[in-house]
Structure formats: C-alpha cells, structure tokens
Chain A
C-alpha cells in the first residue's frame, strides 16, 4: 500500500494510464485523484471520464456491477424514493466545503475537513452490497477503515456505540421536505462493529470520487449488513453509551432492527431474505450468511439470538 502525497496530484488521464501499471496490486491508491476532483466538480455525472476499478471481481469471483448501474440505480430517500430518479435530483448537491464532526464520548473531539479525510491513505475495497429489498450488487469502493478516524479521536471507555448522522439540507434534498421520516437519517453501529477492518468510510467509487447519488462526499460501508446501514453524506459521528435509534428503527422497529445483518435464515416480517437478485443478472442466487463475510464477522455475534437481534 503506497502512502499518497498530495503533491502527487495528477490529471485524471495520467492517473488512468498509471492505473494500468498498478493494476493487479489489488489495492488502489487513489487519494490524489480524489483530492484533485474534490474541489472542482462536486458531483461528476456518469460519462465524465472513464471509471476504472483496480479489480474486476470480488474475492468470491463475482463480477463487478457495471459503473453505469451503480451510478444510476440508487436508494437515496433524501432525494427520491424512486431509484432511477435520484441521479437527476442529486446533480447539483453541494459536497464542498464539507466537514465531519466527530465527538461524543471521545478524548479528542475533532472536526475533519473533507480534505483531512482524503489525506488518509485510500484503498479500494470490492464488496457485495445486499439491500434489505432482496437485490444486490458488487461495488468497488474507495475509502479507509472507520477505525482510523475513531483511533484519532480516542473513544472513552464508556463509549459502546457509534451514531452517524447525514446532512440535513432540505433546500437541496427534496425528500427531506416531505414527511413520513424523522430526518436527518441516523444510523448506528456497536463499537466493535465500527472498529472492524471491513467497516469503511467510502469516499470514492470505481476509481472516482463518490458521486452525489452514491452518498458523496463520504458514506459508511458495512458489507455484512443490509444496505440501509450504509449511511450517506455523513456530517456527524458520535461515540455514545446507549444504542442509537436509526431512522428505520424509528419508522418500523419490528421490521428493521439495529443490527440488520444480512441473514438468509431470518426473513423480513413480510418477505424472504433467502435469495437475492443480483442487478443485471437473470435468475436468483442464494443469499449468503453475513453476505459472505461470515468468517470475518460471525464472532462478533457469538451467543446472540439473531432472530431477536435482527
């Protein structure tokens, strides 16, 4: 993994060329490209420049979901409940300047400028994304482990959970102007889940800065959980003692639990979670326990009844 010096900021075409050389390393250091784009265009639309991922499959050999799909099929209620309508509504969403306040039960509360986060070593993570609605994708994220940021602020011993909050910008987010939900979006993780190496803050996708419709400029990615846990456009992260109430728990706690771990054996009260439709594929596939990350995360839930803590 190469550390990225900001003096290396390079034009995208050079960066794409260089990509060919480092392809195969499995780890993509894209910080410079992110830094270069963060200040210019807040939300590049698909087609601006060629999106390039460092890998073309996940560790199971599942092919990446095409960039066009990832960039146009979005579940982002702050903009629209229609997945294909988000792109247009998010086009002018301002992601610069951007700050993320990290506080609560920590020794060193700190406000990160987006650039501070982009200066952290960025790497590519190809993860399966399983939505609670029983569809899935394979996405090449760029980001860094959340534990990096948590380490910097030093959680106090009484901190048990991490609470995340999305920006509240009803003037820019039409969905936040309509009722039905308690905006802003809130999500939470147990501290050990948040510290797990698979848990990342994503700042990019397909070798490019995160698109507005994908939750720019910074979102959470927790690949063994349902997609609604991947809170987008984060402005606040708090370490807390009590389990936070997420937006979906507040909306329907009997259907959407705090843990929301992908589990084919625990159905949603109304529908099965045993299978999923990989977007773009015909036919279904069986949903894997913890979305295929069982080996890495099952120990976090040892002794817990997953039908109760769903």
Chain B
C-alpha cells in the first residue's frame, strides 16, 4: 500500500513536470510573449523540450542500475512519452504554424534540407517507441522489445545532431546535450555496469 502510494506521487509528479512546460509555452504563445519571431521561438522551445525529456527518459534505467533504486523506473515510460509528445508538437508547429500546412512548400523545403531529414528520422523512431510502449506491445515483442527500445539512443543522437545543425555555427548547448547523451550511454555499457555493481557490493 505504502509502496504504491509512493509510486503514485512519483507518477503524478512526473506528469506535472512533463505538462508544466507545455502549459507555459502555450500561454506564452497565446499571450504573444515569445518575441517578434514567436513561431520560430515556439519551434525552438518545443525542440529543446523534446531533447531534454529524451535525455531525462534515459536516466531512470541508469539510476536503477547504479544506485539500485528501481522505484524511479516507474517514471521512465512517462518521460519517454513526453519526449515523443514534445517532438510531435515541434513537428506540428513546423508543418502547421511555420508552413501553414502548405504541402507544396514543405516538399520544396524538404527537397534539399538535410537538417529537416535528420530531425524527421528522430521523430519516426520516437513514434515507433511511443506506439510500442504499452504492456501489450511489450508482451508481443518479448525479447525484441528491449532491442527495439535501445533505438532511443539513435533517436537521441539524431535529435542532438538536428539541434546542432539548427544554428549557423557550432554552439555549446547541443554539444553539452551530446556529451550528456554519450555519458548516459556509457553508463549502460556492461563493463561500467559491472564496475558500479562491484562498488555497491563493497559498501
């Protein structure tokens, strides 16, 4: 009873945490507080949020493995779904607000836009992961579910790449995100996991 109440708060907290930036962004957009280029700014903010939630969704597994704190795993799925949700909102702002659903213009732009294609790659992977995030799909896919969901690191790499390419020049923020992604991946490598396991066994 105590345990499920604890995870209930964790889950509610995760959702509040996940929804708060969306509400803030929507209010800022509606209230015209995003500066002169509010469509561009909304695009950038939703993109940043997608990257942040993607990185956050990778942490519970590692915290559970290194600190043996498996409760945090309850937040993992929600964090991953928020990463997908922000990526989808980012995409919708791009096609709807920025391009006004003008398919001709979108196709014209995509024709020679490698930057968009990289982002689209990340979104496609995140969509597949979101669709297969249910218990039903976990059962159906069995062992392959874990394999498929490791593709989140590919999505993360594509997302950070897309982020880095959105600027005229290399900027520090996407580099920091890339470094964090690399660190999170490194912490899951078997030798590292064994090493941290030994450290835990010692105390």
Which residue of B has the minimal Cβ distance to A72? B36
Q: Is the CB of A271 within 8 A of B39?
A: no
Whether a CB of chain B sits under 8 angstroms from the CB of A61 is: no
Binds B, one of A13-21, A184-192, A237-245, A273-281: A273-281
Q: Is the CB of B39 within 8 A of A84?
A: no
Q: Is the CB of B36 within 8 A of A267?
A: no
A256: chain B residues at CB < 8 Å are 168
In chain A, positions 251-267 with a C-beta closer than 8 Å to chain B are 251-252, 255-256, 267
Whether a CB of chain A sits under 8 angstroms from the CB of B112 is: yes
A157: chain B residues at CB < 8 Å are none
Number of interface residues of B (CB under 8 A): 24
B99: chain A residues at CB < 8 Å are 275, 283-284
B40: chain A residues at CB < 8 Å are 135, 277, 279
Shortest beta-carbon distance, A182 to chain B, in Å? 13
Beta-carbon contacts of B89-114 to A below 8 Å, as 1s and 0s? 00000000111101001001111111
Complex alpha-carbon distance, A300 and B168, angstroms: 27
Which residue of A has the minimal Cβ distance to B114? A270
Q: Is the CB of B36 within 8 A of A180?
A: no
Whether a CB of chain B sits under 8 angstroms from the CB of A38 is: no
Whether a CB of chain B sits under 8 angstroms from the CB of A282 is: yes
Q: Is the CB of B100 within 8 A of A271?
A: no
Q: Is the CB of B115 within 8 A of A280?
A: no
Which residue of B has the minimal Cβ distance to A70? B36
Q: Is the CB of B115 within 8 A of A270?
A: yes
Number of interface residues of A (CB under 8 A): 29
Q: Is the CB of B116 within 8 A of A271?
A: yes
Q: Is the CB of A283 within 8 A of B116?
A: no
Q: Is the CB of A81 within 8 A of B98?
A: no
B109: chain A residues at CB < 8 Å are 272, 274-275, 284
Q: Is the CB of B39 within 8 A of A277?
A: yes
Beta-carbon contacts of B111-135 to A below 8 Å, as 1s and 0s? 1111110000000000000000000
Partner of A274, one of B37, B98, B100, B108: B108
B39: chain A residues at CB < 8 Å are 277, 282
Q: Is the CB of A133 within 8 A of B113?
A: no
Whether a CB of chain A sits under 8 angstroms from the CB of B153 is: no
Shortest beta-carbon distance, B34 to chain A, in Å? 9
Whether a CB of chain A sits under 8 angstroms from the CB of B165 is: yes
In chain A, positions 49-87 with a C-beta closer than 8 Å to chain B are 68-69, 72-73, 81, 83-84
B116: chain A residues at CB < 8 Å are 271-272
Shortest beta-carbon distance, B9 to chain A, in Å? 37
Partner of B113, one of A135, A272, A279: A272
Complex alpha-carbon distance, A256 and B168, angstroms: 9
Q: Is the CB of B105 within 8 A of A132?
A: no
Complex alpha-carbon distance, A280 and B41, angstroms: 11
Q: Which of A69, A267, A275 has the most CB of B within 10 A?
A: A275
Complex alpha-carbon distance, A37 and B100, angstroms: 42
Whether a CB of chain B sits under 8 angstroms from the CB of A286 is: yes
Q: Is the CB of B108 within 8 A of A275?
A: yes
A280: chain B residues at CB < 8 Å are 36-37
Besides A272-B112, A277-B40, 13 more A-B contacts (Cβ < 8 Å) are: A251-B169, A252-B169, A267-B112, A269-B114, A270-B165, A271-B114, A272-B108, A272-B110, A274-B105, A275-B109, A277-B39, A280-B37, A282-B39
What are 29 A-B pairs with beta-carbon distances under 8 A? A68-B36, A73-B35, A81-B171, A83-B35, A84-B35, A133-B168, A180-B169, A255-B168, A267-B112, A267-B113, A270-B115, A270-B165, A271-B116, A272-B108, A272-B110, A272-B111, A272-B113, A274-B108, A274-B109, A274-B111, A274-B112, A277-B39, A277-B40, A277-B98, A279-B37, A280-B37, A282-B97, A283-B99, A284-B105
- Complex A-B, nearest 9 residue pairs according to Cβ-Cβ distance, in ascending order: A283-B100, A267-B112, A69-B36, A272-B113, A73-B36, A271-B115, A272-B109, A274-B108, A84-B35
